[in-house]
Amino acid sequence: VDSELNAIKGGGAAHLREKLVAHASNKLVLIADYRKDSDLLGAKWHQGIPVEVSPLAWRTIKRQLERMRPTLPSDPAALFELDCPAAELRQAVRKAGPVVTDNGNFILDVRLGKVYDPPAVDRLIKMIPGVIEVGIFSNMACEAWFGNEDGSIVCRIPKSEIKKQL
């Protein structure tokens, strides 16, 4: 969860359904432990961004994801940190083969390093044919609650909202 409450979700391979519920809700509140609180997405979470893909196209999508570059010709500002992203087909733990989502799709975990513009990265990945959903939840949460190691709890709102209130 970054300073604007953008989040990476999908460790359990259900981010399509989670995103549908989040969009249908009146208010999205994130609850996490202190280890998931960071200034930028990807600063602490190194397992990558889950991307749900059609099994028919996963190899092609993997190649396209790995060809992405941190800047676009139309905008020199970097969207993410790594010059050479890595995409890996998520493998099942207690069975042979890849993880299959409840929707019958595969998951590619895409490592981009730090993500500087989560909404733009989300849109960029979704433009690839065969991508079903991306595990970036941007501009959706209104607050986040973090449980700390000492048992205390901290509530945060997006950094941009704090500036508006000042």
Q: Which residues are catalytic?
A: 18
133, 19 contact by CB (below 8 A): yes
H/E stretch holding 166 reads none
Phi/psi of residue 30, nearest 5 degrees: -90, 140
Cα 83 to Cα 65, 70, 80, 120, distances in angstroms = 12, 6, 8, 16
Torsion of CA 90, 40, 126, 131, to 10 degrees: 10
89-92 contacts, C-beta under 8 A, 24 or more apart: 89/58, 89/62, 90/13, 90/50
- Provide the residue count of the chain: 166
